Amino acid sequence: MARTHLFLFCLLTFFTLSSATRPRHFNISTVATHWSTASATWYGSPDGAGSDGGSCGYGNAVSQAPFSSMVTGIGPSLYHAGRECGACYEVKCTNDPSCSRKPVRVVITDFCPGGVCASDHAHFDLSGTAFGAMAKPGQEKHLRDAGVLKIRFARVECDYSRTNIMFHVDQGSNPNYFATVIEFEEGDGDLAGVSLKEKNSNKWLKMVQSWGAVWKIDPGRELHPPFSLRLISQYSEKILVAKDVIPSGWTPGATYRSMVNYL
């Protein structure tokens, strides 16, 4: 019996020390790159951005800097009902003679729901531009002709060359309902939560993810701008506040640039 009690005491001590030394917030930048295996295809035009924005709601921003067509649709195992919109990965191929074996960074901007995207453990449906970027110089067409390709992938931080976070107001927004696409989050790349604060208020109102990268609030009353938006990072849980980023007189369809980002 005494031996049993000693074992339980040692086990409890181990878990207590492990919890004490484990960082409170996980941060992608502090974790060694872990490569996994997936399959990859491409869609859209050979030198294009795949679809026009896809299911994350980024619209034609996918073909413009800083996305610059280096984007991907993703299968259900990594898409997580849109919660991973904006997440960044490095992908590389090594099994085809046209592969450069060098990693390239892509951003999740779309969902690939069926076929090989759903059946494989992990699948990247890359834009033609991103797929070709895995090739040796001059071998882009040969690689795109390879069909379904085995690749390696790793979750990495997003880096948009210090582009600040932008808020594209959804066309359906009105004085009583506000929704926005949130773009270019550096670091983790995806969000765990978004809140809105009205003019002359100290209260943060919780927004909910509508779909993809679109977050919305529908309080059942008129909202009073300017709005500040508070963002919580998915992995590090770092908090950013874009103060008064949505001005009085905001308009549906407009894009407003903040002064903040995670890196």
pLDDT band at 81 (very low <50, low <70, confident <90, very high): confident
pLDDT, residue 31, reads 52
The pTM (predicted TM-score) of the whole model is 0.84
How many domains, the chain?
Answer: 2
- Answer whether residue 14 shows pLDDT above 90: no
d(CA 112, CA 118): 8
- Answer whether residue 30 shows pLDDT above 70: no
Q: Does residue 12 lie in a domain region?
A: no
Chain centroid, CA 165 distance in Å = 13
Asked if 137 and 180 sit in the same domain, the reply is: no
d(CA 117, CA 148): 11
pLDDT band at 20 (very low <50, low <70, confident <90, very high): very low
Buried b (16+ CB within 10 A) or exposed e, 235-254: bbeeebebebbbeeebeeee
- Answer whether residue 236 shows pLDDT above 90: no
Asked if 97 and 182 sit in the same domain, the reply is: no
pLDDT, residue 255, reads 97
List, in order, residues 6 or more apart from 216 with CB less than 8 Å away.
170, 177, 178, 179, 180, 207, 208, 209, 210
pLDDT band at 32 (very low <50, low <70, confident <90, very high): low
Q: Does residue 2 lie in a domain region?
A: no
Asked if 197 and 143 sit in the same domain, the reply is: no
pLDDT, residue 28, reads 57
- Answer whether residue 13 shows pLDDT above 80: no
Does residue 119 or residue 42 have the better pLDDT? 42
Q: Does residue 15 lie in a domain region?
A: no
pLDDT digits (tens, 9 = 90+) for 100-118: 999 999 999 999 988 889 8
pLDDT band at 162 (very low <50, low <70, confident <90, very high): confident
- Answer whether residue 60 shows pLDDT above 50: yes
Q: Does residue 100 lie in a domain region?
A: yes
CB 95 within 8 A of CB 148: no
- Residues of the chain above pLDDT 70, percent: 87
The average confidence (pLDDT) of the chain is 87
d(CA 193, CA 181): 13
Range of the domain at 134: 28-156
- Answer whether residue 175 shows pLDDT above 90: yes
Which CATH number belongs to the domain containing residue 34 in this structure? 2.40.40.10
User: What is the mean pLDDT of the segment spanning 137-161?
Assistant: 94
Asked if 248 and 170 sit in the same domain, the reply is: yes
pLDDT, residue 121, reads 87
Q: Does residue 172 lie in a domain region?
A: yes
Asked if 151 and 212 sit in the same domain, the reply is: no
- Of 27-41, 45-59, 132-146, 229-243, least confident by mean pLDDT is 27-41
Asked if 150 and 179 sit in the same domain, the reply is: no
Asked if 179 and 249 sit in the same domain, the reply is: yes
User: What is the mean pLDDT of the segment spanning 41-52?
Assistant: 89
Which CATH number belongs to the domain containing residue 170 in this structure? 2.60.40.760
Q: Does residue 247 lie in a domain region?
A: yes
- Residues of the chain above pLDDT 90, percent: 74
- Answer whether residue 4 shows pLDDT above 60: no
Strand 205-211 with 191-197, pairing: antiparallel
Asked if 134 and 186 sit in the same domain, the reply is: no
Q: Which of 156, 178, 200 is the last residue of a domain?
A: 156
